[in-house]
Amino acid sequence: MKKLHIAMLIGSLTKGGAERVLVNLADYFVNKGYCVTMVTQYRLADEYALNEKVRRVISDITPEQTTGNRVINFARRFEKLRNIWKKERPDVILSFIGKNNMMAILTSRFLRIPVAVSVRADPVEEYYSSWMRFMARHLFSRADGVILQTSGCFDFFPEGVRRKAVILKNPISGGFFRERYEGERDKTIVAVGRVDENKNHELLIRAFSGIAEEFPDYKLIIYGEGDLRQHLGELVRELGLSDRVLLPGSIGNVADAIYKARIFVLCSNSEGVPNTLIEAMLMGLTVVATDCPCGGPADLIRSGYNGCLVPVKSIDKMKEKLQYLLNNLQIADELGRNAVKTRDVYAAGKVYGEWESFLCSLAERPGKQL
């Protein structure tokens, strides 16, 4: 039986949660014998490595094709992406994030190629302007499938979109499926993620500043790159914590770096279902996360059982929770042991199988998208 040709669309493969999920999916499908084409608008320097069996196609127009007219540039990008679909003739298109989802639907119209669009965060944040929200609510009814992160995301869309929507879990890299470390843990609090406004690492730094004197042996380490890294470095110096708060940037093996940490913190203003939080729980870390709108962290954490939730943007509540856990290490360890049970839900074979079944069902559906 001929394996399907799956085309995947995203802006780039720069290091972020959505990009990592798509790279993991591409690796899974190509290793199972599927033909996979990764279509990205750009190719950037700091990207995830793509399986060499996956074909890469760039959809952006060249500098020579670019004009000073935004309408003309859009028309040329539209035509180029549509021509890619005509040439590749995939059996199904899987698109990730924002405008890519809209472009996937529009450029494949009348080509009879089914399209699945994946919303990777709170739709209110991912579709951040009124016209984008209008377009997403109405245009997604023309997609063959809609993939959401949490049940809370359904409320954003009208009934016609909700009928096509499913929740599919994030596939997680195998390196995070390991036995929980039961030895003496490092005196570190860690966070992992893009250093930008939404991730709100400033909240964590200020919360740590409030407990640094009480716990002089502990350090805070924030792994990741982003626009605010320099700003956070300046804040650390202002607070007199240069030897206590470290910003090493991106690293190759996150699992090894955080495996023995005492506490993992996610402090975002909004999230879908964050990979980093899942990964920390799989390894049995004690986790503290902000209770983001749309319920991503709340879908994973039962506060007081397998982790702790604190209100979004609350420095005081974050400080209090960190202080409580560091003063009650036995309770912290029990939360971590319960967090490991997340692996029952995120078992690789089960999660990948759900994605495979969903995409194959779209490709085999009679009529396909019109």
pLDDT, residue 370, reads 43
CB atoms within 10 A of CB 353: 12
Contact 45, 12 (CB under 8 A): no
Provide the whole-model pTM. 0.89
Q: With left for phi above 0 and alpha for psi between -120 and 50, is residue 110 left, alpha or beta?
A: left
pLDDT the model gives residue 1: 54
Question: Are 125 and 196 contacting, i.e. CB atoms less than 8 angstroms apart?
Answer: no
Q: Torsion angle of alpha carbons 78, 132, 90, 94, nearest 10°?
A: 150
* Domains of the chain, residue spans: 5-171+347-363, 174-344
Residues of the chain with pLDDT under 70: 1-2, 366-370
pLDDT in tens, 263-308: 999 999 999 899 999 999 999 999 999 999 887 899 999 999 999 9
What is the per-residue pLDDT for 88? 96
> Which pLDDT belongs to residue 252?
83
> What pLDDT is recorded for position 360?
95
Dig out the tokens for 309 from the structure. Answer: 């939730």
Specify the amino acid at residue 20. R
DSSP 286-309: EEEEE--GGGHHHHH--BTTTBEE
Closest of 128, 133, 129, 131 to residue 155, by C-alpha: 133
Q: Which CATH superfamily is 5-171+347-363 part of? A: Glycogen Phosphorylase B; (3.40.50.2000)
Identical fold, 5-171+347-363 and 174-344: yes
Class of domain 174-344 (CATH, top level): alpha beta
Closest CA to 5 of 47, 57, 49, 46: 57
Distance CA 205, CA 155 (A): 33
